Amino acid sequence: MNEQLTKHISKFVAVGDDELVEINRFFKVVNVKKKANLLVAGDTCNQTFFVSKGLLRKFFISDKGVENTTEFALENWWITDVLSFTNRHSSEFYIQAVENAEVLSLSRENYQRLLHQHPAMEKYFRCIFEKAYGAAQMRIKYQYDFSREELYHHFRLRHPEFLQRVPQYLIASYLGFTPEYLSEIRRKSLS
């Protein structure tokens, strides 16, 4: 039984120990090497991932060949391509390990069975999706409200754990900067 997942579920819904054991059986442990892809653009996303250890990112490659990071997921976070996962069509995204990772994979079929057999998980996933949607909504707001420099400093203050673990070029990609521009902002703030 994965203790991290169990604790995470218990933060949102009341589920007994026996049921938590049953819930854990729907998941498969997957070890992922740094830079390995869990999802490749063009494939259908058939899984959603809970990060037990490590760090993942979701990104797409623009028509100009530029990688644009849209999301990070570290321990106790979920990551998937929601549209591809729910609608069963090809994804436009990649999901990749930023560092060696251990994830719990939940297939679409197991997800449906899990919700049917354990109704409390319906509430759990609703809570997870609400939090993710709210975070995405605020990210869009910040992109309109803040200058590029303010956006970086806001990110730096709100998510210091990423600065220690994520390469600067990926942070730049996430914020919509070039790595050179991010270096310039960082240099300015040190002087």
Confirm or reject CATH 1.10.3720.10 for domain 1-128, answering yes or no: no
Report the 3 state secondary structure along 19-76: HHHHHHCCCEEEEECCCCEEECCCCECCEEEEEEECEEEEEEECCCCCEEEEEEEECC
For 102, other C-beta atoms within 10 Å of its C-beta total 17
Q: How does pLDDT run across 116-162, given as a tens digit for each residue? A: 999 999 999 999 999 999 999 999 999 999 998 999 999 989 988 88
Burial class (CB in 10 A: 0-12, 13-18, 19+), 158: exposed
The structural domains of the chain, with segments of one domain joined by +, span: 1-128, 142-191
Residue 169 DSSP symbol = H
Residue 187 pLDDT greater than 90, yes or no: no
Question: pLDDT at position 191, please?
Answer: 62
Rounded distance, CA 48 to CA 9, Å?
15
What percentage of the chain exceeds 90 in pLDDT?
Answer: 84
How far separated are the first and last CA of the chain, in Å rounded?
49
Does residue 92 register a pLDDT over 80?
A: yes
Q: Are 97 and 32 in contact (CB under 8 A)?
A: yes
pLDDT at 190: 72
172 confidence band (pLDDT: 50, 70, 90): very high
pLDDT in tens, 20-59: 999 999 999 999 999 999 999 999 999 999 999 999 999 9
Q: Is the dihedral of CA 173, 175, 178, 180 positive or negative?
A: negative
Cβ contact 34:97 at 8 Å? yes
Among 129, 128, 173, which Cα is nearest to 155's?
173
